[in-house]
Amino acid sequence: MKEINVPLEKETYSIRIERGLLDRCGALVSNVTAARHIAVISDAQVDALYGQRLENTLTAAGIHVVRLVFPQGEKSKCVDRLVQLYEQLAAAEITRDDCIITLGGGVSGDLGGFAAATFLRGIPFIQIPTTVIAQVDSSVGGKVAIDLRSGKNLVGSFYQPSAVWIDPDLLQTLPQAFIRDGMGEVIKYGYIRDIRLVERLEAWNETTLSSHWEEIIAACCTIKAAVVAADTRDTGERQILNFGHTIGHAVEGFYGFGTYTHGQGVAIGMSRLTARTEAAGMTEAGVTKRLRRLLQRYGLPIDVPASAEELLPFIKHDKKRRGQMITLVVVPRPGTCRLVPIALSEAAQYIGK
């Protein structure tokens, strides 16, 4: 078992990482909330796999459980599903003394978390993430949101959970494509902040990975928790988490969302940017080769045919852009990074092949 505290201005919460945790949630609830009535929000796939087990442990602790289920997929992170959830929470007579648990990937956490942030002006919630992306990234940090037709995550809030409970064993049922997607972010954490994680990933492979999830998740959550605690509202240091993301988002956008997963986009972004910063002398010689070897070891792509000119329009529309400047996250050597603001007019030289 590993526990990581996330110290915030107002309240501190903990991330608990433990194999087999799902079946022990009932015993933990009273440490976090006095609620006797809990709404569990999941997508249909996760509910079918794990919903009953969570209900059983909570019921055994004397808690009344209602399971609210929506169809899986990004399309559910929308206003219509949100309104449906509000109505279901109202019908279940959930009050501010009660609690929501989001059980699932980033979609459940973002959608269910936004419902928790806004229903009755906010009720407590606990995240139980079930994908690699959710366990190492989306469940920590307090960002909750839904998508609009105009773009992803355009309506949301900063709303911290009361606890994050991570059971690495739940990844046993996660399809390989989603494991690989999450590994893009895992490798990112190593490269920006944790050389030991990089070295361990270099020693493991896709087959041996499954016995190391607990330490991988703990390493990633430790970094995310520290960065988030220093910058809860994403205005400064938190930007280091965007290593590879500016080009990654452009790759996702250029090829049409769904062609490359987010993690694949990030992999391509880290690989391309590092090749350029290495050529410019901002990154030590040999780092690009080492990074690419690691990405490929975990089934991730390292490049796409798209040219700088083709990607540039998508960078200009990036919502993280501030005025005519963008901030690059540059890795001088694995395990360290620095923020480098550049003018948009200079961007092409950092995103080309």
Binding residues for NAD(+): 106-110, 130-131, 143, 152
Residue whose beta carbon is closest to ligand NAD: 106
Structure tokens at 256: 């049409």
Annotated binding residues: 106-110, 130-131, 143, 152, 185, 245, 262
CA-nearest of 103, 162, 100 to 128 is 103
Least Å distance, CB 176 to ligand NAD, is 11
Handedness of CA 269, 270, 275, 278 (dihedral sign): positive
Closer CB to ligand NAD, 37 or 53, in the complex: 53
233 φ/ψ angles, rounded to the nearest 5 degrees: -100, 20
Structure tokens at 184: 């893009």
Least Å distance, CB 67 to ligand NAD, is 15
Closer CB to ligand NAD, 224 or 292, in the complex: 224
What residue ranges in the chain does DSSP mark as E strands?
Answer: 2-7, 12-17, 37-43, 64-70, 99-104, 125-129, 143-148, 151-158, 163-166, 325-330, 338-343
| β partners of residue 17 | 2, 166
Residues that bind ligand NAD (CB under 6 A): 43, 45-46, 49, 72-74, 77, 104-108, 110, 130-131, 133-134, 137-138, 141, 143, 152-153, 170-171, 173-174, 178
Least Å distance, CB 19 to ligand NAD, is 14
Closer CB to ligand NAD, 7 or 151, in the complex: 151
Least Å distance, CB 114 to ligand NAD, is 9
Do 344 and 325 touch, CB atoms closer than 8 A?
yes
Helix (H) or strand (E) run with residue 30 in it: helix 25-32
Closer CB to ligand NAD, 77 or 193, in the complex: 77
Least Å distance, CB 291 to ligand NAD, is 21
**Neighbour tally for 254: CB within 10 Å:** 19
What does the angle CA 178 – CA 235 – CA 127 come to, to the nearest 5 degrees? 40
Closer CB to ligand NAD, 173 or 349, in the complex: 173
Closer CB to ligand NAD, 95 or 173, in the complex: 173
Q: How far apart are CA 8 and CA 123, in angstroms?
A: 18
Structure tokens at 140: 């920590």
What residue ranges in 200-311 does DSSP mark as E strands?
Answer: none
Least Å distance, CB 23 to ligand NAD, is 14
Closer CB to ligand NAD, 111 or 308, in the complex: 111
Q: How far apart are CA 79 and CA 166, in angstroms?
A: 27
Structure tokens at 232: 């809860």
Annotated binding residues for Zn(2+): 185, 245, 262
Least Å distance, CB 144 to ligand NAD, is 6
